[in-house]
Amino acid sequence: MMRRTTEVTMGDIARMAGVSESTVSRALAGSSLVAAKTRQRISEIARNANFSINEQARNLALKQTRTIEVIFPIERGTLQQVSDPFFVDMLAVLTDELGKHGYDVLMSRSPPWDEDRPGCAFLGARADGVIFVGQGRHRSDIRDFARKHGKVVVWGAVSPGDDYCVVGSDNVGGARMATTHMLQLGRKRIAFLGDTDLPEMRQRFEGYCDALKAHDLPIDESLVIHTPFDIEKAREVSQPFVELFPRFDGIFACSDMIAIAAIANLRQAGIKVPEDVSVVGFDDIPSSAHVSPSITTVHQRIHRAGMLMVERLMGILEGGAPEPVVIETELIVRQSCGAH
């Protein structure tokens, strides 16, 4: 992985082995053009000389990078707050899956469109493709970028009009299940906690509305609370909301983090979950099974998602134009809804 201070090159190996560089190149690539015996000898010498190929030079010659840029459009400065375990899991899957295809992962937090690189103001060719993990507030930027550069796969809300490849959970269906579940438990006045400016959350809001409509219930705007993703702020925002009790008897939270924050505030106000209020979250982060009360939530199939994204990106790199995918979600019933 690392450059040694005194780099040994193919030329060195060639000299040691008394052959040409080309032969070394072929031998190390496992080409059948080179005699098995020669190949073995060269491999041996290379190993002993502690030779490691210079990927940079190799890639330059091959006109490839064997690298995929993974971009998490996470707001800057929100350390200790964006800590959604979702990201680690996704990153782990992507790293593994891309690795299987021989690709490295280049991390990025600054999207390609803010061109404030040090030195020169131009974009560099550092990756063969890009994966955006989340569209956030940058939907149109991403669309422009995708149009321009092609090799892009995006995690997020899948919409009919997308002209680039998006992979995402069935947010609408998941939210509908969650809300319907509480309605079936007899809850009537269900609040929505989330940030409807984000497309993914917008879809969850739609599912929430669907469920209410299907039960002939009106949407009470005063129970739709614009709650940020970040757990600290979520707690702040849901603080005054709690005082609306008993105007609500159920909460659909757009994420488990928000659910955890809301429950903390409810308990502090002496309101019992799930006795007084049912709560359902979204994501199924590990903690959600282990906090008390454990959280009923909508499970996102992250592993499958990561695999599909990589599979699709590979398809694009091979010249295909894979279809977007909506991944089904699943309701995990635990304690916070009061079903048990």
Candidates 16, 21, 87, 162; binder of DNA (CB under 7 A) is 21
Residue 34 interacts with, from its own copies, DNA, none (CB under 5-8 Å by kind): DNA
φ and ψ at residue 187, rounded to 5 degrees:
-75, 145
Task: Give dist(CA 150, CA 164) in Å, integer.
Answer: 8
Tell me the β-bridge partners of 191: 251
Number of residues that bind its own copies (CB under 8 A): 88
DSSP codes, 75-95: PTT-TTTS--HHHHHHHHHHH
Least distance to its own copies, CB of residue 326, Å: 21
Structure token digits, residue 128: 């063969």
Binding-residue pattern over the window 209 to 228 for its own copies, x denoting contact by CB under 8 A: --------------------
Judged by CB, which is closer to DNA: 58, or 143? 58
Judged by CB, which is closer to DNA: 63, or 76? 63
Look up tokens 């299987």; give the residue.
100
Structure token digits, residue 232: 């600290």
Q: Is residue 127 within the footprint of its own copies (CB under 8 A)?
A: yes
Structure token digits, residue 331: 């309701």
Candidates 40, 48, 60, 92; binder of DNA (CB under 7 A) is 60
Query: Which stretches does DSSP call E strand in 179-285?
Result: 190-194, 224-226, 250-253, 278-283
Q: Using CB under 8 A, which residues numbered 82 to 101 contact its own copies?
A: 82-85, 87-89, 91-93, 95-96, 99
Structure token digits, residue 30: 């496992």
Q: What does DSSP assign to residue 34?
A: S
Binding-residue pattern over the window 1 to 40 for its own copies, x denoting contact by CB under 8 A: xxxxx-x--------------------xxx----------
- Is the separation of the CB atoms in 145 and 112 below 8 Å? yes
Least distance to DNA, CB of residue 311, Å: 25
Segment near its own copies (CB under 8 A); pick from 133-141, 158-166, 174-182, 285-293: 285-293
Look up tokens 């299907």; give the residue.
214
- Is the separation of the CB atoms in 206 and 175 below 8 Å? yes
Q: Using CB under 8 A, which residues numbered 144 to 203 contact its own copies?
A: 149-152
Q: Is residue 130 within the footprint of its own copies (CB under 8 A)?
A: yes
Q: Is residue 118 within the footprint of its own copies (CB under 8 A)?
A: yes
φ and ψ at residue 282, rounded to 5 degrees:
-150, 135
Judged by the rule CB under 7 A, the positions of this chain that interact with DNA are 7, 9-11, 18-23, 25-26, 28-29, 33-35, 38-39, 53-54, 57-58, 60-63
